[in-house]
Amino acid sequence: MTGAPLLSVRNAARHYQSGETVVRALDGASLEAHAGELIGIMGPSGSGKSTLLLICGLLEPPSAGEIYIRDRLVSYPGADLDKLRGFRRDHIGFVFQKANLIPFLTATENVSIALEIADVEARAARGYATQLLGALDLGHRIDNRPSRLSGGEQQRVAVARALANDPPLILADEPTAALDSVRGRQVMELFRRIAVERSACVMVVTHDPRSLDLFDRVIELSDGRILSEPSQPVQAHP
Amino acid sequence: MNLAIKDIRFNLARFALTALGIGFLLMGAIGAIGLYRGIVADALLVIDHIGADLWVVQGERVGPFAEGSSISSTMDRRVEGVEGIASVRRFVQFSQQFSFAGKVRRATITGLDYPRDDGAWFELKAGRHLEASHFEAIADDSVGLPLGATIRLAKDDYRIVGLTHGLVDSAGDGLLFVSINDATAIASRRPSEQVLLARETSGNAAPQGDGASPSSVPQDSKIAAVLVGLAPGADVARIKAAILAWGDTNVLSSAEQRDLLLNQRLWRLRLQILAFASVLLLVTAIVISLIIYMLTMEKLHQIALLKLLGARNSAIVAMILQQAGLIGLFGFGLAMLLSHLTFPNFPRRIVMLPQDLGIFFAILCVICLVASWFGIAQALKVRAQEVLS
Ligand SMILES: Nc1ncnc2c1ncn2[C@@H]1O[C@H](COP(=O)(O)OP(=O)(O)OP(=O)(O)O)[C@@H](O)[C@H]1O
Ligand SMILES: [Mg+2]
């Protein structure tokens, strides 16, 4: 990879105090991620994958270490992340295992809310939301409320919402866990496309080895440490 | 896009039920205060409208509302002689039961000193004021008598020549106006057996030293008070002193009568209703606060999501406030509607004063604000990652 990294995690640790013992959810992890990359994060349960994502996503500060986005130091121990809400909105999109759509809004509204929050004018927001949903093959679903959508459709709406503000970094925590293998594969391919077409950096936590072929590289976590980071991509992509 | 309105439209039935619940609660509180106002207004109706400056009543008593009062039936002439007095009228009021159309009715018979007073001080809903000194009556519509009906009171038949609306005494019984002479006649009715017994007793008993009663049947005068209208510029203190000097009378101003009624006779009832209204208000306040607070708590997950999407606090606060405001507004509107539809059918007057309603609205606004504030405090504490839990 060339050029400055989009995201740089340096020696990040996250310790949780639980009673007498200290849980080292993340124990000194470093990584760099670049625009246009699709990165898989894998590892056994409890290995710190979600914790890593929370820290990269500026939802939790690290107990030690620093997080840089585009060479700007954004998170460090004790950082006031609530102040970074606006920054997060412009730079990071999230997708989780559950779609977390707002039940009283239609598919379009669920996407355009993310734009309106960023002060995009309502009509323009709707227009772009409709366009995004169309691009994710949900053109026929734009006026449906979440309860009328299948799990896969809901998850694609959530992806569209994450894409709405064109963030350079997209973080997904087991986005396909609640989907069957076909739909799961579709969502993973969607991330692949997003990384290429939007030259966004997409980091996906997954347990599903069948998606391995889609990733540029895979970060293995074990006990809060990054095990192996192959210098070469798992498989080359155009 | 307005999230508060979208949410309400999505959960319209729930919103409507919530607003309706708040509406009923408010209506109860409005009704309790209105009942209190109504009791006071009813009690003061006669005192405030009859147009008396002074009430001359039985000596050492504070009648005729707070205590009984009986004065000589010619007291009016004595009072009329006092300098500075422009008008005098005799007054009597008592409860009476009678039957009409096969049903027992209650009315508070009030004597009008016809022809000096034909009842022009109250408004008629139908018919006319008194035009004869005997056997005509004006009834409040709450007594349930139609215009032109004939009722039997004591030994005579009375025709209803006029109808009023909302003229009741402090117990809520409708007033029935007759001439003062008729009123005394009705009040003096007694069974013939009683007359016979009385004659016998007075015949056998030793004659009374003062020989007060010339009648064989000892009876009080039925006149309760003389209503005094003062001449312009009259010296009230001197007039009062002059009448008090007689010894057998007491003089009360209208203000004193009001005070006696409200702070003596109706004191417990007023306190009771006020206490009840306070409890109701408190319950209403607590329940409405809880409803608004719960509505916000229910939204915490969505609020966390909005934070995750990068929503500003102001947007979240606006959503909570708008929703609380809309619920409060609709609740108040429904309370108004329900109150105006139902209260006129209540047996006693419910007075809804604009200033009371204004205060209710202000209190409701404060409740909504305080409850939202607690909700908002929780909402602002929620962390974006709670979406994940
Ligand atoms: N808020 C917390 N308080 C205490 N311990 C925590 C907290 N969050 C995570 N942990 C602990 O940190 C460790 C890593 O958790 P994490 O959620 O990152 O694992 P994970 O790799 O995502 O696991 P899974 O695959 O099951 O989702 C676990 O042992 C977990 O119990
Ligand atoms: Mg996890």
For each of chain B's 389 residues, which pLDDT tens digit applies? 889 999 999 999 999 999 999 999 999 999 999 999 999 999 999 999 998 999 999 999 998 988 899 998 889 999 999 999 999 999 999 999 999 999 999 999 999 998 899 999 999 999 999 999 999 999 999 999 999 999 999 889 999 999 999 999 988 899 999 999 999 999 888 777 877 887 777 665 544 444 444 444 445 678 999 999 999 998 999 999 999 999 899 999 999 999 999 998 889 988 998 898 889 889 888 988 898 888 888 888 889 999 989 899 999 999 999 988 999 999 999 999 999 999 999 989 999 999 999 999 999 999 889 988 988 998 888 888 888 76
Task: Output the CA A46–ligand 1 centroid distance in Å.
Answer: 5
Between helix B300-308 and helix B313-342 the angle, nearest 10°, is 150
Span from the CA of A183 to the centroid of ligand 1 (angstroms): 27
Instruction: List the shell of residues around ion ligand 2, using CB closer than 5 Å.
Output: A 50
A104 to B9: CB separation less than 8 angstroms, yes or no: yes
Q: Which of A99-125 are b and which e, b meaning 16 or more Cβ less than 10 Å from the residue's Cβ?
A: bbbbebbbbbbbbbbbbbbbebeeeeb
Using the predicted structure, report yes or no on whether residue A215 has a pLDDT greater than 80: yes
Task: For tokens 């002479």, name the residue.
Answer: B181
Q: Which residue has the higher pLDDT, A4 or B178?
A: B178
The residue assigned the tokens 């209803």 is B160
- Domains contained in chain B, number: 2
Q: Is B312 exposed, middle or buried (0-12, 13-18, 19+ CB in 10 A)?
A: middle
**Minimum-distance ligand to the CA of B385?**
1
Cα–Cα distance, B56 to B259 (Å, whole number): 16
> Residue B207: inside a domain, yes or no?
no
Chain B contact set for A85 (CB, 8 A): 307, 310-312, 384
Question: Are residues B176 and B125 located together in one domain of the fold?
Answer: yes
Nearest CA to ligand 1 atom 18: A48
Q: B242 in a domain, yes or no?
A: yes
Ligand 1 lined by A47 (C-beta under 6 Å): yes
CB contact under 8 A, B1 and A112: yes
Beta carbons within 10 angstroms of residue A235's beta carbon: 11
Residue B35 shares a structural domain with residue B170? no
Rounded to the nearest angstrom, the distance between the alpha carbon of B32 and the centre of ligand 1 is 57
Q: Which residue of A has its CA nearest to B388?
A: A96
CB-based contact A173 B388, cutoff 8 Å: yes
Is B199 domain-assigned? no
CA distance B241 to B234: 13
Residue B203: inside a domain, yes or no?
Answer: no
Nearest CB among A104, A117, A173 relative to B309 is that of A117
Ligand nearest to the backbone CA of A221: 1
Which residue has its alpha carbon closest to ligand 1 atom 30? A46
In the DSSP assignment, the letter for residue A175 is T
CA distance A237 to A214: 8
Q: Are residues B342 and B365 in the same domain?
A: yes
Kindly list the residues of chain A whose beta carbon comes within 8 Å of any beta carbon in chain B: 50, 54, 59-60, 85-86, 88-90, 94, 96, 100, 102-105, 109, 112-114, 116-118, 122, 145, 161, 165, 173
Burial B167-183 (b: 16+ CB within 10 A, else e): bbbbebbbbbbbbbbbb
Alpha carbon of residue B358 to chain centroid: 20
Instruction: Yes or no: say if B356 and B30 are a contact pair by the CB < 8 Å rule.
Output: yes
Enter the pTM of the model.
0.80
Ligand 2 geometric centre to CA of B345 (Å): 64
How many Å apart are CA B148 and CA B329, to the nearest integer? 48
CA atoms B338, B344, B349, B352: torsion sign: positive
Ligand 1 atom nearest to A54, measured from its CA: 18
Query: Do residue B289 and residue B361 come from a single domain?
Result: yes
Phi/psi at A154 (5° precision)? -60, -45
The predicted pLDDT at position B389 comes to 67
Alpha-carbon dihedral sign for residues A49, A50, A56, A60 = negative
B55: domain range? 49-191+215-265
Q: Cβ contacts (< 8 Å) between B301 and chain A: which residues?
A: 100
B135 and B115 together in one domain: yes
Q: Which of A104, A117, A122 sits opposite B11 (nearest CB)?
A: A104
Domain boundaries, chain A: 7-97+153-226
Instruction: Say how many Å lie between the CA of residue A23 and the centre of ligand 1.
Output: 9
Which amino acid residue places its CA nearest to atom 11 of ligand 1? A25
For residue A16 and ligand 1, the question of a CB distance below 6 A is answered with: yes
Verify whether ligand 1 is closer than 6 Å to residue A23 (CB atom).
yes
Contact call for A103 and B307, based on CB within 8 A: no
Give every CB contact of residue B107 below 8 A, 6+ residues apart in sequence: B95, B96, B98, B139, B140, B143, B173, B174, B175, B176
Closest ligand 1 atom, CA of A48? 18
- A54 and B387 within 8 Å at the Cβ level: the answer is no
Give ipTM to 2 decimals: 0.87
pLDDT, tens digit, 9 for 90 and up, residues A101-126 = 999 999 999 999 999 999 999 999 99
Give the end of a domain, one of B265, B287, B306: B265
Neighbour-count burial of B79, counting CB atoms closer than 10 A to its CB (0-12 exposed, 13-18 middle, 19+ buried): buried
Residues B151 and B222 in one domain: yes
Ligand 1 mean position to A65 CA, how many Å?
18
Token pair, residue A126, equals 């709707």
Answer whether A25 contacts ligand 1 (Cβ < 6 A).
yes
Q: Do B310 and A102 touch (CB under 8 A)?
A: no
Closest to B63 in 3D by CA, of B283, B281, B251, B288? B251
* Chain A hits for B307, Cβ within 8 Å: 85
Which region among A145-154, A172-181, B187-196, B344-353 has the lowest average model confidence (pLDDT)? B187-196
Please report where in the chains the tokens 């799990």 appear, as a residue. Answer: A151
Residue nearest to atom 17 of ligand 1 (CA): A50
pLDDT confidence of A229, banded at 50, 70, 90?
low
**Interval A53-63 mean pLDDT:** 93
In a domain, B315, yes or no: yes
Choose the closest CB to B388 out of A88, A96, A165.
Answer: A96
Across all residues in chain A, what is the average pLDDT?
A: 90
Bridge partners (DSSP) listed for residue B56: B226, B251
Q: Which residues of B touch A58 (CB under 8 A)?
A: none
B369 and B382 co-located in one domain: yes
Same domain for B138 and B186, yes or no, is: yes
For B379, other C-beta atoms within 10 Å of its C-beta total: 23
Distance CA B64, CA B52 (A): 14
- Does B254 fall in a domain? yes
Location of structure tokens 């350079």: A168
H helices within chain A, ranges in order? 49-56, 85-91, 107-117, 122-135, 151-163, 181-197
Instruction: Say if CB A34 and CB A1 are below 8 A apart.
Output: yes
CA gap B286, B333 in Å, rounded = 19
Q: What are phi and psi of A69, to 5 degrees?
A: -125, 125
Contact B222, B188 (CB under 8 A): yes
Fold exhibited by the domain A7-97+153-226: Rossmann fold (3.40.50)
- The residues with which A33 forms a beta bridge, in sequence order, are A7
Pair B170, B292 in one domain: no
Dihedrals phi, psi of B294, to nearest 5 degrees: -65, -40
B244 shares its domain with B175: yes
Question: Which of B325, B387, B323 minimizes the C-alpha distance to B7?
Answer: B323
In a domain, B205, yes or no: no
Domain limit, last residue, from B265, B296, B323: B265
Closest residue (by CA) to atom 25 of ligand 1? A45
pLDDT over threshold 80, residue A154: yes
Q: Is B206 within a domain? A: no
Predicted local distance difference test score (pLDDT) of residue A237 = 52
Q: Choose one of B227, B245, B265: the last residue of a domain.
A: B265
